[in-house]
Amino acid sequence: MDNQGLKASSDIWVFAEQKNKRLAGVVYELLAPGRRLSDKLGGSLASVLIGYDVSDLAEELLACGVDVVYKVDAPPLAHYNSWLYPRILEKLVKENPPNSLLIGATYAGMSLAPALAARLGVGCSAHCVNLDVDDHGNLLQYVPGFGGSLMAIIISPYSRPQIATIKQGVFTKTESKPGIKKGMIREVAFEFTGPIPVKVLEIKQEKHAGMPLEKAKVVVAGGAGVGSKEGWAKIEELAALMGGAVGATRPAVDEGWAKESQMIGQSGKTVRPELYIGVGISGDIQHTVGIQDAQKIVAINNNPKAPIFKMADYGIVGDYKEIVPLLIEAIAQEKN
Amino acid sequence: MKPLHIIVCVKPVPDFRSPVEFDQKTKTVKRGNVATVINPLDKNALEAALQLKESFGGKVTALSMAPPFAESVLREVLAFGADEAFLLSDPAFAGSDTLATAYVLAQGVKKIRDFDLVITGAASTDGNTAQVGPQVAEHLGLPHASFVTQVKRHSEHSLELTLKTEEGTILAEIDLPALITVSREINEPRTLGLFGIAAAAAKPLHILGSSDLEVDPERVGEKGSPTRIADIREVSFARKSELHEGTPEAISLLVKKFREWGVI
Ligand SMILES: Cc1cc2nc3c(=O)[nH]c(=O)nc-3n(C[C@H](O)[C@H](O)[C@H](O)COP(=O)(O)OP(=O)(O)OC[C@H]3O[C@@H](n4cnc5c(N)ncnc54)[C@H](O)[C@@H]3O)c2cc1C
Ligand SMILES: Nc1ncnc2c1ncn2[C@@H]1O[C@H](COP(=O)(O)O)[C@@H](O)[C@H]1O
């Protein structure tokens, strides 16, 4: 594939996903790496804001230090629309191609990014956990992969712009400071005719039961080693006793012990609790990228060679069926 | 309502229960002795298609791009109840990234023709990009919806969908023909019956190569893939760890640490 795609500038764009007149959390997370990369390339940091009645959000982006906000504001754009958004971005990108476009790996982002990449015929990586650029302006897209402790670096050397979706929770949020506004807003007219084959009929907010994983001080996570639904109840009991939330690895979700929203790792959540306890978890990179920033890590596993022990502050070798009940008892006593 | 012809994209993937090995030299995943299974979410995609067919009549066609050994996986898909299967297989397709894979699948869909709906899994267990579905849609000029958790016929020419979001769900309407990618919550895939297995043997399974499809050789395989793996690095999250046998002493020491760390 030779020189596919467009002649690009050195700018970095961040897609400013918004919902109900608020920017998605991941947008704030992408601004710092966006700034770092654009500085390295010698370009500027721009953001694309698509929505309806979103002037306040454009100001908010400027207050976060963005140089240019491309704003497309029209009633049909109020919510993410998988037909309109990729088309609008395609037009913007073709008019003023950036070096790279960073998109949060949210549900909307995971629909938008590949669709846009296909429309442009350019490369797109998924669920990056780190980003950098090389001397040729190639975006280095770090994606945990292939099991074990391997990290793949993906590049799209011959196509521009480069598109990456970035996992939520890996970068630190930029705070808005109204005093620092120096960028500008570029209104882009919404010109679209023709039928729109996808319509949003209704948005339903759901109250999630229990403590959100990302906010919990203590996370007790279980893996394939837990072995059964009954065993899983012990994980939940330990978490409840410590006032924590329950997390899971993918096999535990596949077994139906835990919900998908409880999955931690590359395709799940990133957690930064004060304490993470992993029970019956081997410590595969696809899981551990989601826990590496925990302040303390405790692992319980019956295999002394389990990789998770290497990254644990405190490891206990043994059958969790014996250890966890003893631990529950000991904590309950300590609390009294 | 009119019957629906549904095409389901099925990816044969290595059984994630068997260890995946990476070849440092060729920078590819070694698939040699790993069992090949249907990507789990594609079973949900197939189930969704079969349920729609049961409600409205029509036909379910399975489509896959994979090496010839994946034929057994497509036989299994036929045993579950698909009516016909297409395996797109050609050495020229090797090394395709999501964009090139989606292009080949889209050319396969064009070959099958006269469809109302394409269903894919939201993501695969090996690639896990969640990109192929939306990209097939774009290559075909179809509207798409991702992470569908419920599907209903809305009218003769549209579906009502429930989509997952971070905060809850979205109710959406999509006009046919369309492509949807499904999440695990959408259904509980049926189990394989003996009758299905017997019936599968007689169902049509076509193996098509480049020359049977209208594919631009520049757009498939490594040539047609804009992404590259530049490097693979070992990463270490190692900490200064202390390891204890599971004795009562080790457990009381841990509880003491919990106090020290301020978590109880
Ligand atoms: C593209 C891709 C994305 C992925 N994304 C994710 C992700 O986001 N999150 C995720 O978690 N996984 C993800 N995975 C899966 C990941 O690669 C691993 O398969 C998974 O993390 C392993 O889960 P586990 O540790 O629970 O299971 P295993 O690896 O099977 O480990 C089970 C452990 O339990 C121990 N054990 C067994 N019995 C007992 C007992 N009685 N007491 C104590 N210990 C016991 C065993 O010694 C073993 O170490 C992904 C995979 C791919 C290919
Ligand atoms: N080679 C393939 N053959 C058929 N379907 C595929 C293939 N690759 C991906 N898909 C479909 O695309 C979905 C998402 O895959 P991925 O983008 O790899 O996460 C899968 O669930 C399949 O339905």
pLDDT tens digits, one per residue of B83-134 = 999 999 999 999 999 999 999 999 999 999 999 999 999 999 887 799 999 9
Mean of the per-residue pLDDT values of chain B? 93
- In this structure, what DSSP letter does residue A65 have? T
C-alpha span between B103 and B262 (Å, rounded): 54
Q: Model confidence at B30, in pLDDT bands (50, 70, 90)?
A: low
- Nearest ligand atom owner, CA of A318: 1
Check residue A181 and give its pLDDT.
87
- pLDDT digits 0-9 by tens, B174-195: 999 999 999 999 999 999 988 8
Query: Residue B125's pLDDT is what?
Result: 85
- Among A128, A193, A136, CA closest to A163: A128
C-alpha span between A132 and B112 (Å, rounded): 42
Give the distance, in angstroms, between the CA of residue B198 and the centroid of all CA atoms in the same chain: 25
Which residues contact ligand 2 via a Cβ below 6 A? B 9-11, 39, 41-42, 45, 64-66, 98, 101, 105, 120-121, 123-124, 127-133
Tell me whether residue B8 is in a domain: yes
- Asked if B225's CB is within 8 angstroms of A1's CB, the reply is yes
More confident residue, B35 or A20: A20
Residue pair A72/A192 in contact (Cβ under 8 Å)? The answer is: no
- Which residues lie below 8 Å from residue B21, measured CB to CB, with a gap of 6+? B29, B30
B237 vs A: CB within 8 A: yes
Q: Give the contacts of A157 (CB within 8 A, at least 6 positions apart).
A: A136, A138, B228
CATH ID of A2-188, from 3.30.70.380, 3.40.50.620, 1.10.1060.10, 3.40.630.10: 3.40.50.620
B143 contacts in A (CB within 8 Å)? Answer: 82-83, 197-198
Specify the ligand 1 atom closest to the Cα of B127: 1
CATH number at B33 reads 3.40.50.620
Per-residue confidence (pLDDT) for residue B193, from 0 to 100: 86
pLDDT digits (tens, 9 = 90+) for A88-99: 999 999 999 999
What residues does CATH 3.40.50.620 cover in chain A?
2-188
Q: What is the pLDDT of residue B127?
A: 79
Q: From CA B201, how far away is CA B76, in angstroms rounded? A: 10
At A2 the pLDDT is 42
Instruction: Write out the residue limits of the CATH 3.40.50.1220 domain(s) in chain A.
Output: 213-335
pLDDT at residue A148, rounded to an integer? 62
Quick check: A98 and A12 in contact, CB under 8 A?
yes
Residue B166 lies in a domain: yes
Ligand 2 mean position, distance from CA B55 (Å): 26
Least confident of B29-38, B77-86, B122-131: B29-38
Residue B27 has pLDDT above 70, yes or no: no
* CB spacing of A317 vs B241 below 8 angstroms: no
Percent of the residues in chain A that have a pLDDT greater than 90, as a whole number: 83
Give yes or no for B226 touching A (CB within 8 A): yes
Q: Which residues of A touch B31 (CB under 8 A)?
A: none
pLDDT category, A3, cuts 50, 70, 90? very low
Binding site per annotation, positions of A for FAD? 249-250, 280-287, 301
pLDDT of the residue at A46: 98
Is A69's pLDDT higher than 70? yes
- The three-class DSSP label of residue B145 is strand
Decide if B238 is inside a domain: no
Res A1: pLDDT: 43
Report the domain count for chain B: 1
Nearest-neighbour CA in chain A from B204: distance (Å) = 31
Mutation to test the B interface, candidates A90, A111, A129, most B Cβ within 10 Å: A111
Domain containing B55: what range? 4-219
**pLDDT value of residue B21:** 63
Q: Is B17 exposed, middle or buried (0-12, 13-18, 19+ CB in 10 A)?
A: exposed
Each residue of A246-295: pLDDT tens digit? 999 999 998 999 998 899 998 889 999 999 999 999 999 889 999 999 99
pLDDT at B54: 97
Q: What is the pLDDT of residue A147?
A: 61
Whether the bond into A161 is cis, omega within 30 of 0: yes
Interface contact flag, A335 B264, Cβ < 8 Å? yes
A213-335 CATH fold = Rossmann fold (3.40.50)
Q: Tell whether B229 is covered by a domain.
A: no
pLDDT at B25: 67
A299-304: average pLDDT: 97
Return the CA Rg of chain A: 22
Tokens (6 digits) for A183: 């960028």
Pocket test for ligand 2, best of B111, B120, B182, B184 (most atoms within 8 A of CB): B120
Query: B228 lies in a domain?
Result: no
pLDDT for B19 beyond 90: no
How does residue A47 score in pLDDT terms, banded at 50, 70 and 90?
very high
User: What is the H or E stretch that residue A87 is in?
Assistant: helix A84-95
> Which residues on A lie below 8 Å from B230 (Cβ)?
138, 140, 153-155
- Which residue would you say has higher pLDDT here, A266 or A327? A327
Average pLDDT over residues B164-173: 93
Could you give phi then psi for residue A246, rounded to 5 degrees?
Answer: -100, 130
Reply yes or no on whether the pLDDT at A139 is more than 80.
Answer: yes
Coarse DSSP helix, strand, coil percentages of chain A, rounded to the nearest 5 percent: 30, 30, 40
B234 assigned to some structural domain:
no
Domain assignment present for B45:
yes
More confident residue, A209 or A20: A20
In the predicted structure, residue A336 carries a pLDDT above the cut 90: no
